[in-house]
Amino acid sequence: MAKISSSIGKELYKIEIKSPTGNVVIADEPETLGGKDLGFSPNELLAGSLAACTAATLRMYADRKGWDLTAVNIKINLEWDEQANKTNISRELELIGNLDEAQKARLFSIAEKCPVHKMLSNPIEISTQLI
């Protein structure tokens, strides 16, 4: 279970996101929305989570199989379709290394099994409480 905390002060839209182990990421809004573009926007963080999880999952799988996967490049496009009330995410994978077509096909299917992909592909329930 991920337990993340965030805080924002008076500086417009600059948000510190902290992990329990002390890692810190800065989130911000672009200048066009009143921020200073000091870090990833919230949408970019969500897309980045999918990209990072996919890359790590592919790396782990290829390493376990002993495959010559030298690099994985991923591009994520995340868009909110307000009219359809739907989020559209597209993901492009570039697999670099000495891989045959069967290995590439298997890695493609493994990408669908990364934990963040599974979370985003299933119903999500968010509960909020005021403390």
pLDDT tens readout for residues 15-51: 999 999 999 999 999 999 999 999 999 999 999 999 9
Please state, as a whole number, how many other Cβ atoms lie within 10 Å of the Cβ of residue 98: 9
Do residues 73 and 32 share a domain? no
Spell out the residues 6+ positions from residue 67 whose beta carbon is closer than 8 angstroms to its own: 97, 99, 103
Do residues 50 and 100 share a domain? yes
Q: Report how many domains make up the chain.
A: 2
- In this structure, is residue 131 part of a structural domain? no
What mean pLDDT value characterizes the chain? 96
With 90 as the cut, is the pLDDT of residue 126 above it?
yes
Do residues 58 and 92 share a domain? yes
With 90 as the cut, is the pLDDT of residue 79 above it?
yes
48-63 residue pLDDT tens: 999 999 999 999 999 9
User: What type of residue is 92?
Assistant: E
Range of the domain at 11: 1-40
- In this structure, is residue 57 part of a structural domain? yes
Do residues 23 and 65 share a domain? no
Residue 71 has phi, psi (to 5 degrees) of: -160, 155
